[in-house]
Amino acid sequence: MYDAAIKPRIGETVEAWSVPGLAASGAPAALTGIRVLDLSGLAGQYCGKQFADLGADVILIEPVGGSPVRREGPFLDDRAHVEFSLQFAYFNAGKRGAAIDLDRPEGQHIVRQLAKNADLIIESEKPGLMERRGLSFASLVASNPKLVMTSVTPFGQTGPYANYEAEDIVALALGGLLYLGGYPDTPPIAAYGNQAYLAAAQFASVASMMALLAADEGGDGRHVDVSIQECVTMGLETAIQFYDLEKTVRKRASGEQIMAGVGVFACADGQIYLMAGGIASTRFWANLVNWMVDEGVDGARQLLEPAWQSHDYLSTPEAKTIFRALFAPFAEKQTKAYLYQTGQSRRIPICPINTPWDILTSRQLEYRSFFVSQKHAPSGRMLTVPGAPYQLQETPWRQARPAPRLGEHTSEILAELGYDAAARAALLKSGVIN
C-alpha cells in the first residue's frame, strides 16, 4: 500500500502512484475494470472517490470553468484559486479529470460516447436537466444495456419537493437532524462539514455497488435515485422511535450531562467525553468512582451508594449536579491525554474531544498508518490526508493519484474515444472542452 514512514515534506514529489487495477504492492483491487463517469458536485464526489480508491477508473467530468467544488474552501495557503481547494483535492484524488461543457451538443455527444463504455455514471443535476441534455438514463442505457446511473438530488427525482432548492443546511433541516443539534437555549445548530451531502454520497456508493452487482449478475442496467433529505433521516438515532412509540419529541440537548457521568467535561487543554452510564449501563460506574477515590477526590465515596446504580436517579438534576461538583474540579486539572489513557486503563469509557491536530497525531491512527501523503500537483506540496477508511486484506485501499488539475486529462480521454489532434483543437477553440 503506502509507506507509513513517509511524512510530507515541502517540495517533495512522488510520481509513482498506482495505476487503476493494481495497488503499488501488486495486490489486486476490488473494483478493477469498473469505469465510472463522475459528473457530480459536492453531493456525489465522495462516492466517486470511494470507487477510485478501490481501483475503479473514475473520470471526473466538470464544467469548462471547473467544478463548483473547486470554489469551496479551505484552500491551500488560503489561496482562493481553482487549483488550490483542499476540499476539491481531497474528494477527487484518484480520478482523472476532463472539462466538458454539457450544455453544448458537442459536449453531450462526448458524454454519450463515454457512456457506452461506462459501468456507472454519478450525477447530481436537478431532476430533468440530464434529460434535456439528451443524457437521461433511458437514452444512455439504450446503447449500454448494463449501465448503472446514480442520480443524487436534494429530494429525489419526483414528488412535491423535487424542484425545491437546497444546500446542505436545508437538507439537514428537512431531514430532521438539524433539530437535534445544538444547545437548549440556542437555535438548532447544524453538524459541521456538509454531512447531508456526504450522507448522500455514502448511500450513493452503497446503492451504486448493489446496482452494479445486480447488473453484473446478468440483469439489466439500473437507475438509482438518491434523496439527500432521505439520507439524512437515517441519522436520527432514536428520534423517530421515541415519537412513534412513546409520543415524545427529542430535542437538542448539548451543554448538559445526559445523565450523571455522561457528557462533556472541561479539562486542562480541552474537553473529554465521559460515558459511565446510558447504553453502557452502570457497569463502569464502580471503576469510575474508584478512580476518583484513588485520585483523592473528596466526597467521591458517596457515589458508591446504591442510589447511583439507578438510571432514574442518575437522570435527576440532583445527581447531575452532585456528580459535576465532584468530577469537574478533578478533570479541570488534568490533560485530555492523561484522562483518556488513565481512565481507559481502568476500563472506563472516556475519550478526548479530539481536535484535528489530536487526530493527526493519534498513536492509534499512526499504528494503523491511517494518514497518507498525497501530492498536490499544482504546488508540488505533499498533503497529509485520511487514507483507508476500511482495510480489505486481499484488495487493499490504494494510495491514489492526486486530484486532476482542471482539464488535465481532457485530451487523453478524447484521444481514447478516437478524437484526433485536429478535432480536439477545434473543440478547445470553440470552448466545448478545457
Partner 1 sequence: MKPLPLHGIRVADFTWIGAGSFTTKLLADHGADVIKIESSGRMDSLRSSRPYKDGVPGINRSGYFADRNSSKRSITLNLKTEAGKDLAQRLIATSDIVANNFTPGTMEKFGLGYEAVRAIKPDIIYIAMSMQGSAGPEHKYLGYGLTMGALTGLQFLSGLPEREPAGTGTNFSDHIPNPCHAAFAILAALRHRRRTGVGQYIDVAQTEPTIALLGPAMSDCSANNRIQERSGNERAPRAPHGVFRCRGQDRWIAISAWQDETWAALCKVLGDPAFARSTQLATAHGRWVNRHTIEQGISAITRYWDAEDLMSALQIAGVPAGVVRTAADIVDDDPQLRHRGHWVKLAHPEMGESVYNAPPFRINDAPATPVAPAPLLGQHTNEVLTTILGLGAAEIEALRREDVLT
Q: Please say which residue, 77 or 412, places its beta carbon nearer to partner 1.
A: 77
Near partner 1 in 383-402, by CB under 8 A: 383-386, 388-395
Q: Please say which residue, 176 or 407, places its beta carbon nearer to partner 1.
A: 176
Near partner 1 in 338-357, by CB under 8 A: 344, 347-357
DSSP code string of 20-76: TTB-TTS-B-TTTT-EEEE---TTTHHHHHHHHHTT-EEEEEE-TT--GGGG-S-BG
The one among 3, 12, 103, 220 contacting partner 1 by CB under 8 A:
220
Q: Which residues contact 305 (CB under 8 A, 6 or more apart)?
A: none
**Smallest gap from residue 96 Cβ to partner 1 (A):** 20
60 binds partner 1 (CB under 8 A): no
Q: Which stretch binds partner 1 (CB under 8 A): 95-103, 125-133, 208-216, 322-330?
A: 208-216
Does residue 28 have a cis bond before it (omega within 30 degrees)?
no
Can you tell me which residue has the cell 489486486? 28
Cα diameter, the chain: 85
Separation CA 110–CA 95 (nearest Å): 18
Q: Which stretch binds partner 1 (CB under 8 A): 276-284, 293-301, 402-410, 421-429?
A: 276-284
Q: Please say which residue, 276 or 414, places its beta carbon nearer to partner 1.
A: 276
**Smallest gap from residue 371 Cβ to partner 1 (A):** 8
Query: How many residues in the shown chain lie near partner 1 by CB under 8 A?
Result: 150
H or E element, residue 412 = helix 410-416
142 binds partner 1 (CB under 8 A): no
Q: Which stretch binds partner 1 (CB under 8 A): 60-68, 123-131, 200-208, 325-333?
A: 200-208
85 and 75 in contact (C-beta within 8 Å)? Answer: yes
266 binds partner 1 (CB under 8 A): yes
273 and 350 in contact (C-beta within 8 Å)? Answer: yes
Separation CA 356–CA 368 (nearest Å): 17
Q: Which residues contact 245 (CB under 8 A, 6 or more apart)?
A: none
Q: Which stretch binds partner 1 (CB under 8 A): 14-22, 101-109, 128-136, 175-183?
A: 175-183
**Smallest gap from residue 154 Cβ to partner 1 (A):** 9
Measured N-to-C along each axis, helices 45-53 and 195-216 cross at an angle, to the nearest 10 degrees, of 50
Q: Which of 31, 75, 365, 87 is nearest to 216 (CA)?
A: 31
Q: Which residues contact 410 (CB under 8 A, 6 or more apart)?
A: 97, 98, 99, 100, 424, 433, 434
Separation CA 131–CA 361 (nearest Å): 48
Q: Please say which residue, 143 or 430, places its beta carbon nearer to partner 1.
A: 143
296 binds partner 1 (CB under 8 A): no
Site string for partner 1, 232-251 (x = CB under 8 A): -xxxxxxxxxxxxxx-xxxx
The one among 337, 360, 423, 428 contacting partner 1 by CB under 8 A:
360
Q: Please say which residue, 63 or 349, places its beta carbon nearer to partner 1.
A: 349
Q: Please say which residue, 207 or 427, places its beta carbon nearer to partner 1.
A: 207
**β 222-227/148-153 pair status:** parallel
Amino acid at the residue 160:
P
214 binds partner 1 (CB under 8 A): yes
106 binds partner 1 (CB under 8 A): no
The one among 22, 24, 76, 337 contacting partner 1 by CB under 8 A:
76
134 binds partner 1 (CB under 8 A): no
Near partner 1 in 301-340, by CB under 8 A: none
Q: What's the angle, vertex CA 431, arms to CA 426 and CA 432, rounded to 5?
A: 80
